[in-house]
Amino acid sequence: MAQPGPSPPTDGSFHFLESTLGQLALCNPVSLLQRVAELEKVNAEFLRTKQQLEQEFNQKRAKFKELYLAKEATMDTLQIEFVNQAECKYYFFSEDLKRQNAVLQAAQDDLGQLRTQLMEAHAEMENIKAIATVSENTKQEAIDEVKRQWQEEVASLQAIMKETVRDYELQYHHRLEQERAQWNQYRENVEREIAELRRRLSEGQEEENLENEMKKAQEDAEKLRSVVMPMEKEIAALKEKLTGAEEKIKELEASKLK
């Protein structure tokens, strides 16, 4: 009975076949032919398995490449849209700030005119005191009437200025909250998109490519912050101007009480 030959290696090399055939040459010819047929069958099966694995690998590699290119195009489109929207918002918000600054400057001019009117009214009161020498009662009544008119005029102008400043503050806070809400919504959308891309990429992409995508997303966030920071500075400047206007009104009220 023929002895069984050594097991074939997984690479299916022909050196192994030659060595095996050399060993089997000394055995029974029938067993030799059977062994050769078995080895050829094993080698054919190995070649079919190898070809099938190569085809599957090429298909997966092509599918992965297609998915990677699609995600890369999506990230580029998202970045362009993100920057364009941020620039558009910055432009419109800058124009709105310019208009509000112009209105605030007009309010400050009105405050200057009010101060001038108060000085003129005070001079008029002093003039009336100087020339009203007919009688103490008549003089006092004239002074009281002028003072009353002056106080009514001042109160009316101050009410108008307070209402104007309050409207500016309401518009400012409303616009600020609106911008914050839009920014938070947009940031959440970007974070969800990045999380989705990270999940999909983790199914087939290597760690190095995932790190590159994350680094690119962080760079996009830095670009957005570079656009938003000037807007926040302009908002702070507008708030300081509104605070200055309120302080001037308080000073005007204090001078009236004197």
Look up residue 220 and give its two tokens: 């996009």
pLDDT at 18 over 70: no
Of 231, 223, 110, 139, the C-alpha closest to 179 is 231
User: Which pLDDT does position 22 carry in this prediction?
Assistant: 55
Whether residue 101 is predicted with pLDDT greater than 60 in this model: the reply is yes
Please give the DSSP secondary-structure letter assigned to residue 31: H
Residue with tokens 């500016």: 168
Looking at residues 79-97, what average pLDDT do you find?
A: 74
Other C-beta atoms closer than 10 Å to the C-beta of 4 total 9
Neighbour-count burial of 217, counting CB atoms closer than 10 A to its CB (0-12 exposed, 13-18 middle, 19+ buried): buried
The angle subtended at Cα 144 by Cα 142 and Cα 147, nearest 5°, is 110
- pLDDT per residue over 29-72, tens digit each? 667 778 778 888 888 888 888 888 888 888 888 888 888 787 77
Cβ atoms of residues 201 and 217 within 8 Å:
no
With H, G, I as helix, E, B as strand and everything else as coil, classify residue 13.
coil
Amino acid at 189: N
Angle at 160 between CA 155 and CA 166, to 5 degrees: 120
Residues 6+ apart with CB under 8 A from 213: 71, 75, 197, 198, 201
Instruction: Please tell me what DSSP assigns to residue 206.
Output: -
Residue 9 has pLDDT above 50, yes or no: no
The yes-or-no verdict on residue 1 having pLDDT over 50 is: no
Report the distance separating Cα 182 and Cα 33, nearest Å: 81
The band of 123, judged by pLDDT with boundaries at 50, 70 and 90, is confident
Report the alpha-carbon distance of residue 22 to residue 16 in Å, rounded: 10
Question: What's the predicted TM-score (pTM) here?
Answer: 0.27
Q: Report residue 135 as tokens.
A: 């009688």
CA-closest candidate to residue 6, choices 33, 50, 18: 18
Domain ranges of the chain: 71-257
